[in-house]
């Protein structure tokens, strides 16, 4: 049994061949790195074709989290899965622009429903 590290994990839910990740509140650096590893492992070991990352519960995205989101999308793309970032608040979008983060490889959607539509087989 591993000792408790004091950091909770972000749940990664499988909905058919799509992974759904819902970020809530502040995501500490260690949790963001663990999430990146978890998503990559799930894509590599299953038939995942898409990843939806819901950030509607996130108030602030710093440069580290922005980089981690871009790396998740890049890794997913290399593993033949697409990534959609859903629920970005206007303040978060403004902050990303101010930081100069373009998040290459990430498609955005206003909400999770629209993100799921973008990843549906009819949209590929």
Beta bridge partners of 4: none
Structural domain includes residue 1: no
| Residues found in the chain | 124
The per-residue pLDDT for 7 is: 52
Radius of gyration of the chain (CA): 14
In whole angstroms, what is the distance from residue 31 CA to residue 36 CA? Answer: 9
State which residues of the chain have pLDDT below 70: 1-8, 122-124
Give whole-number Cα distances, 109 to 28, 70, 86, in Å. Answer: 24, 15, 5
Question: What is the pLDDT at residue 75?
Answer: 94
Does a structural domain hold residue 123? no
What are 87-114's pLDDT values in tens digits? 999 999 998 899 888 887 789 999 999 9
* CATH, residue 45: 3.30.750.24
Instruction: Report pTM.
Output: 0.88
> Within a domain: residue 40?
yes
Distance CA 34, CA 43 (A): 14
Q: Is residue 26 part of a domain?
A: yes
Confirm whether 45 is domain-assigned: yes
């Amino acid at each position: 049994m591993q000792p408790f590290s004091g950091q909770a994990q972000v749940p990664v839910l499988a909905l058919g061949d799509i992974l759904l990740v819902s970020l809530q509140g502040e995501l500490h650096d260690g949790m963001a790195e663990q999430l990146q590893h978890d998503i990559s492992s799930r894509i590599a070991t299953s038939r995942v074709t898409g990843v939806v990352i819901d950030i509607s519960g996130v108030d602030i995205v710093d440069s580290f989290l922005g980089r981690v989101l871009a790396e998740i999308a890049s890794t997913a793309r290399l593993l033949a899965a697409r990534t959609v970032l859903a629920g970005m608040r206007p303040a978060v979008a403004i902050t990303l622009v101010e930081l100069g983060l373009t998040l290459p490889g990430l498609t955005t959607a206003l909400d999770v429903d629209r993100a799921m539509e973008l990843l549906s087989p009819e949209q590929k």
